[in-house]
């Protein structure tokens, strides 16, 4: 493994791929996130990494499991009754829900 310092010129050449870990961890925000998603759409390397990284992350997440409030399930199920579902459609990549306003 390389040292913890001393990256720059070499790294900037592959800067676009470099964000793939941060992206899988939801550590990329705002415009940078959308920008990376555009890169992702055309990058087979990153497209393969994202789901694999998310499996790893899901493994780490298990340690957080906590008894939820009693109301959580019932309230959620009741709220879902008034939420329409999206119909299946062709999609790209590993789609994640977006904020409702962005749905087109």
Partner 1 sequence: MQHSEKASTRGRSPEELLRQTARGDASAFEALTRYFAPLVFGVALRVCEDRSLAEEVAQEAFLDIWRTAARYERDRGSAHAWIVTITHRRAVDQVRSERAHARRELHAKALLPMVDFDQVAEAVDEAGDRERLRTCLGVLSRLQRESIHLAFFDGLTHTQISVKLQVPLGTAKARLREGLGNLKSCMGVGEKAGGRA
Binding footprint of partner 1 on the chain (CB under 8 A): 1, 4-5, 7-8, 11-12, 15, 17-22, 24-29, 44, 47-49, 51-69, 71-73, 75-77, 79-81, 83-89, 91, 94-97
For partner 1, give the closer residue by CB, 5 or 104. Answer: 5
**Minimum distance from CB of 1 to partner 1 (Å)?**
7
Residues 70, 82: Cα–Cα separation, whole Å: 21
Evaluate whether 41 touches 71 at the Cβ level (below 8 Å): no
**Minimum distance from CB of 100 to partner 1 (Å)?**
8
Residues 39, 14: Cα–Cα separation, whole Å: 12
Q: Give the N- to C-terminal CA distance of the chain in Å, as an integer.
A: 44
**Minimum distance from CB of 39 to partner 1 (Å)?**
13
């Amino acid at each position: 493994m390389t040292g913890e310092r001393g990256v720059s010129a070499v790294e900037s050449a592959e800067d676009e791929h470099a964000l793939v870990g941060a992206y899988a961890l939801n550590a990329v925000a705002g415009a940078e996130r959308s920008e990376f998603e555009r890169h992702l759409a055309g990058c087979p390397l990153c497209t393969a990494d994202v789901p694999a990284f998310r499996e790893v992350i899901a493994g780490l997440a298990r340690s957080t499991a906590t008894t939820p409030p009693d109301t959580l399930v019932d309230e959620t199920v009741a709220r879902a009754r008034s939420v329409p579902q999206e119909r299946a459609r062709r999609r790209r990549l590993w789609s994640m829900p977006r904020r409702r306003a962005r749905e087109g």
